[in-house]
């Protein structure tokens, strides 16, 4: 067995030395169907790659998903990736400028499966006296585009959370061009007719606004490994067959190297305060938990839910989820070089919010094993020649509430699990 096959593609502006651009009056590239009409062409730089580090997702529930990042180191003895090298194939002689510029697109694949898609933010050249230069490309996914955009003043209409995200992405000052997969969601968000406080204020950062919408839904907003901006409502990961099983026994699943667990007060909250322009603040607390652990407070007063009943119900939901600490498996690491290609591809195909089983067998004590069904909330890759370690971070599926009779959020049949 060997590590997955890696491919790193970087999109450069076509030049007379790269990408065969269409050239007027040229005997070869001035003919139709011979070159490209300019723009970006992807170059395969895999042979120059020395190491890759990728981090995507979040480390803990109640946090937002972070901007996915990657760092790729290239051996640059040829100086092809040196912005000062006018002999580089990516130098634009017509414009007398380098093609090694920020914001070039990058795609990283393993066994042909995308594991990161984004933009290069920085090219950092480490010059070596022996001419063995190293170039480090630091990259970020599409969240970096959303974080750099701001909204104008807008009135809003009563609409579902996913529709609100699409509305924001479609505003004229945004006109988001990237691929997106946005579900409808389950929560109704307020509009101008309910309160002018639901309006979008000029200067609001787009990413912050979309994350506020996501929190109001208790959903998931992230950039998938193929670069698709993805929003899932809170009920979308319910009743899903696990995509992978991780275990210490290679015959029963994907073998992990390490298994981490967490059992502390990191997610212990027995006082919850929620508020939106529709009403609040609404406090919710649990006397038993307060007596045992003392007060641990979580406050969110910037929700956008249209119904005061839903805002209050959201507080009760969060209280039910976090009033007692829960021992859970929080992560596994997998050496991909030790896995058969079939199991490699299962791991490589996993993305944020996928469902997995994690099994731990014990030599002594009772029970003899523990089996947890978990949501993938973070994925990282550490890749060097001969080694590819994937690390998965998990959060509990208790983030999805069971049916609660007479509850504005969780009392709707066909949206939630029945507790047995």
**What is the rounded average pLDDT for all residues in the chain?**
88
Pure H helices in 253-408: 287-293, 308-322, 341-349
Give the pLDDT band of residue 366 (cuts 50, 70, 90): very high
Please state, in angstroms and rounded to a whole number, the distance separating the CA atoms of residues 338 and 222.
30
Q: What DSSP character marks residue 400?
A: S
- Residue-wise pLDDT for 248-291, tens only, equals 876 778 999 999 988 888 889 999 999 999 998 999 999 999 99
Convert 34-64 to b/e letters by CB count within 10 Å (16 or more is b). Answer: ebeeeeebebebeebbeebebbbbbeebbeb
Please state, in angstroms and rounded to a whole number, the distance separating the CA atoms of residues 174 and 163.
15
- Of 10-24, 128-142, 170-184, which range is least confident? 10-24
- Asked whether 138 and 144 are in contact (CB, 8 A), the reply is no
How far apart are the two ends of the chain, measured CA to CA in Å? Answer: 44
Give the pLDDT band of residue 62 (cuts 50, 70, 90): confident
- Residue-wise pLDDT for 189-206, tens only, equals 999 998 999 999 999 999
The pair of structure tokens assigned to 393 is 């971070």
- Asked whether 65 and 57 are in contact (CB, 8 A), the reply is yes
The CA distances from residue 376 to 196, 214, 219, 318, 389, in Å, are: 38, 17, 14, 20, 16
pLDDT surpasses 50 at 217: yes
Q: What DSSP character marks residue 65?
A: P
Please state, in angstroms and rounded to a whole number, the distance separating the CA atoms of residues 360 and 348.
22
Residues 6+ apart with CB under 8 A from 267: 60, 61, 62, 322, 325, 326
pTM to 2 decimal places: 0.89
pLDDT surpasses 70 at 18: no
| Rounded mean pLDDT, 289-314 | 95
The confidence score (pLDDT) of residue 31 equals: 44
- Asked whether 161 and 217 are in contact (CB, 8 A), the reply is yes
DSSP-based helix, strand, coil % in the chain, nearest 5: 15, 35, 45
Residues in the chain: 420
Q: What DSSP character marks residue 92?
A: B
pLDDT surpasses 50 at 29: no
- Asked whether 229 and 178 are in contact (CB, 8 A), the reply is yes
- Give Dmax over CA atoms of the chain in angstroms: 85
The pair of structure tokens assigned to 372 is 């947890």
| Rounded mean pLDDT, 348-356 | 96
């Amino acid at each position: 067995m060997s590590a997955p096959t890696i491919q790193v593609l970087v999109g450069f502006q076509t030049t007379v030395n790269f990408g065969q651009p269409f050239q007027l009056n040229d005997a070869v590239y001035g003919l139709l169907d011979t070159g490209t009409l300019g723009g970006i062409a992807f170059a395969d730089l895999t042979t120059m790659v020395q190491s890759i580090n990728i981090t995507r997702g979040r480390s803990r529930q109640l946090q937002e998903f972070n901007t996915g990042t990657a760092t790729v180191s290239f051996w640059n003895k040829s100086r092809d990736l040196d912005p000062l090298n006018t002999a580089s194939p990516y130098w634009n002689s017509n414009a007398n400028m380098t093609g090694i510029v920020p914001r070039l697109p990058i795609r990283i694949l393993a066994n042909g499966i995308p594991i990161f898609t984004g933009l290069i933010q920085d090219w950092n050249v480490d010059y070596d006296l022996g001419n063995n230069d190293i170039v480090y490309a630091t990259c970020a996914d599409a969240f970096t585009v959303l974080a750099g955009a701001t909204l104008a003043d807008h009135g809003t209409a009563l609409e579902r959370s996913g529709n609100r995200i699409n509305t924001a992405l479609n505003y004229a000052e945004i006109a988001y061009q990237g691929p997106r997969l946005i579900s409808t969601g389950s929560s109704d968000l307020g509009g101008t007719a309910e309160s002018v406080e639901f309006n979008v204020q000029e200067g609001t950062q787009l990413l912050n606004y979309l994350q506020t919408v996501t929190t109001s839904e208790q959903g998931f907003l992230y950039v998938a490994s193929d670069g698709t901006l993805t929003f899932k409502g809170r009920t979308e990961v319910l009743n899903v067959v696990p995509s992978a099983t991780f275990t210490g026994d290679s015959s029963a699943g994907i073998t992990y190297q390490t298994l981490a667990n967490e059992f502390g007060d990191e997610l212990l909250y027995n006082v919850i305060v929620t508020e939106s322009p529709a009403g609040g603040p609404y406090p919710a607390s649990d006397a038993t938990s307060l007596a045992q652990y003392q007060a641990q407070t979580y406050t969110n007063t910037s929700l956008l839910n249209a119904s005061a009943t839903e805002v209050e119900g959201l507080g009760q939901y969060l209280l039910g989820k976090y009033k007692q600490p829960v021992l859970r498996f929080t992560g596994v690491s997998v050496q991909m070089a030790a896995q058969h290609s079939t199991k490699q591809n299962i791991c490589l195909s996993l993305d944020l919010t996928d469902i997995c089983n994690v099994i731990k067998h014990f030599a002594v004590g009772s029970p003899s094993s523990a089996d947890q069904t978990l949501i993938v909330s973070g994925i990282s890759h550490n890749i060097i020649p001969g080694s590819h370690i994937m690390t998965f971070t998990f959060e509990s599926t208790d983030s999805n509430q069971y049916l609660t009779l007479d509850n504005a959020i969780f009392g709707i049949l066909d949206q939630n699990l029945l507790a047995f």
